[in-house]
Amino acid sequence: MNGLLGVGVIGASVAGSWGGQAHIPSIAASPDLTLAAIGTSRMETARESAAHFGAPLAFDDPAALARDPSVDIVAVCVRVPEHERLVMAALDAGKHVYCEWPLARDTAEAERLVAAAQAAGVVHLAGMQARAVPHILHLKQLIEAGEIGRVLSASLAIAGQWSPVFPASMEYLQKLESGGNYFTIAGGHAIDAFRHVLGPVAELTATAAIQVPEVQLFDAGRATARTAPDHFAFSGRLASGAFASCEVRGLPAGGSGLRFEVNGEKGSLLIAAAGANPMIQMSDLTLSRVAEDGALTAVEPPADCFWADASVGPHAIGVAQNYARLVEAIRGGRPVPADFAAALDNHRLLDAIRLSAAEGRKVAVGA
């Protein structure tokens, strides 16, 4: 399979969507992919998006999109509650799947998707794209090469904006039951990057809170309850024995940014990002060595950390890199950075954090 692979993107609106902002540019920048189709919930918007993005086909039926012979890969870029239905349609058609994170609303749903994807025998990729960001890749390389010696501890802290005012169309982002909220999105991407670089979390003690319990829906003239945590933190021990701490805070007015520090016997490394909403998977990251006096020396990722065209920008580079590895995996090369089973592991880690926070006790991860 050496020709261009056709991608059918479900969820790429002209008005603004992650599919349109990250997936479409990544596909356009790839020498191995072509945009075959756009799917939305209404044919009117599907045709509008297809014309805008240059896709030859438009669909309002996801099963029909998946069955089309020009589509080799189905990219699912819609709200989390729709993921299972749309992924299953792609798997039923025997197509490779790129599904955005969170994979599912909950762990039970994720388990069903893993089983179905494995039974289908296709390549399945979960959009935990921080794993594919060049600065994260190089941080992992340096640690594994012994740059800082044995890892003693690591901390990840994110203080970003999570507004108390939203349009009514984004009310679902406030709800725990939707599966797509600050805890699972900002938090889920953060903890996945953390464990991908450092290895599995063995045990943790967590706290979680909803600091802004009511959100204003400005275009509906009403308020809604926020039921998903906008703050959480855990400390614990990695399987390697290293001490670990992670804190993710969604603030009404924004915060100081992102700081991911890894401390070893021979030195420390630091990933950082500024900005109002510094999510680790889509921020303009810097990587630095930390001197004994605290001075920072910038470290640029080498060429082997760039699998895709970096001109797509920091917000989309992880997605572009995921697509590059997806193509390789389909053609029999290296595996994808995160398949559905990896996403299931991340869902289970989120479960462990919630359990610890709810019961006020240490939790053995995986137990």
* Distance (Å) of CA 252 to CA 141, 164, 258, 280: 36, 6, 16, 19
Q: Residue holding tokens 């994807």?
A: 117
Taken in order of first residue, the domains within the chain and their CATH numbers are 5-122 (3.40.50.720), 131-307+346-364 (3.30.360.10)
CA–CA separation, 56 vs 89, rounded Å?
21
Six token digits for residue 136: 């994260």
Pairing of strands 124-127, 257-264: unpaired
Q: What is the pLDDT of residue 271?
A: 98
pLDDT tens across the length of the chain (367 residues): 569 999 999 999 888 899 999 999 999 999 999 999 999 999 999 999 999 999 999 999 999 999 999 999 999 999 999 999 999 999 999 999 999 999 999 999 999 999 999 999 999 999 999 999 999 999 999 999 999 999 999 999 999 999 999 999 999 999 999 999 999 999 999 999 999 999 999 999 999 999 999 999 999 999 999 999 999 999 999 999 999 999 999 999 888 899 999 999 999 999 999 988 899 999 999 999 999 999 999 999 999 999 999 999 999 999 999 999 999 999 998 999 999 999 999 999 999 999 999 999 999 997 5
Q: What pLDDT, on the 0 to 100 scale, is given for residue 102?
A: 98
Q: So what's the pLDDT on residue 2? A: 64
